[in-house]
Amino acid sequence: MVRGKIPPADAAVENIRNYINVNGLSEGEKLPSERDMCEMWGISRSALRSAIRHLTTMHVLESRQGSGTYVAPARPISYSGVGKVMGFSDNVRSSGHTPSSLVVSQGTCDADAHVAKKMGIDVDHAVFKLVRLRRVDGLPCMLETSMVNTDVCPGVASHDFSRESLFDVIRDGYCLDIAHGWDSLSISRLDEWEADLLGGKPGASVFFQQGVSRDGDGRCIEYYKSVIRPDRYTFVSLCGWPVDSQKALW
> Could you report the per-residue pLDDT of 27-39, keeping only the tens digit for each?
889 999 999 999 9
Side chain identity, residue 96: G
pLDDT of the residue at 116: 96
pLDDT of the residue at 248: 40
- Single pTM value for the model: 0.73
CB within 8 A of 163, min separation 6: which ones?
none
User: Could you give the maximum distance between any two Cα atoms of the chain, in Å?
Assistant: 68
Q: Which domains does the chain have, with CATH numbers?
A: 8-71 (1.10.10.10), 77-249 (3.40.1410.10)
Query: Which run of H or of E encompasses 118?
Result: helix 113-119
Give the 3-state secondary structure of 144-179. Answer: EEEEEECCCCCCHHHCCCCCCCHHHHHHHHCCCCCC
114 three-class SS: helix
Cβ-count burial of 240 within 10 angstroms (0-12 exposed, 13-18 middle, 19+ buried)? exposed
HSE-up (13 A, CA, CB side) for residue 246: 21
pLDDT of the residue at 35: 95
| pLDDT, tens digit only, all 250 positions of the chain | 545 578 899 999 999 999 999 999 988 899 999 999 999 999 999 999 999 998 988 788 988 888 999 998 878 877 665 555 677 888 888 888 899 999 999 999 999 999 999 999 999 999 999 999 999 999 999 999 999 999 999 999 999 998 888 989 999 999 998 888 888 999 999 999 999 999 999 999 999 999 999 999 999 999 999 999 988 888 776 555 444 444 444 4
> Could you report the per-residue pLDDT of 162-210, keeping only the tens digit for each?
888 898 999 999 999 888 888 899 999 999 999 999 999 999 999 999 9
Dist CA 106 CA 93 (whole Å): 25
Cβ-count burial of 75 within 10 angstroms (0-12 exposed, 13-18 middle, 19+ buried)? buried
